[in-house]
């Protein structure tokens, strides 16, 4: 799920910050993967227990490989 799709059009700035901080906490707890193709691009989040997750592709992007 992309960060852009997570936030509603009518979300306040504070709500967007809280959602982003919650996602960072999930990353720190090792519960989600994330991918961002380049600076300022949309961030895509994946649950680590997602059965549809293309783990090989995600692992390479996390480790800085393409």
**pLDDT band at residue 60 under the 50/70/90 scheme:** very low
6-22 per-position pLDDT tens digit? 887 888 999 999 999 99
Burial class (CB in 10 A: 0-12, 13-18, 19+), 10: exposed
Distance separating alpha carbons of residues 55 and 50, to the nearest angstrom? 10
**pTM for the complete prediction?**
0.66
């Amino acid at each position: 799920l992309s960060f852009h799709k997570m936030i509603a059009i009518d979300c306040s700035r504070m709500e967007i910050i809280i959602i982003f901080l919650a996602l960072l906490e999930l990353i720190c707890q090792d519960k989600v993967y994330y991918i961002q193709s380049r600076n300022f691009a949309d961030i895509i989040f994946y649950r680590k227990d997602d059965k549809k997750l293309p783990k090989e592709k995600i692992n390479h992007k996390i480790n800085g490989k393409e």
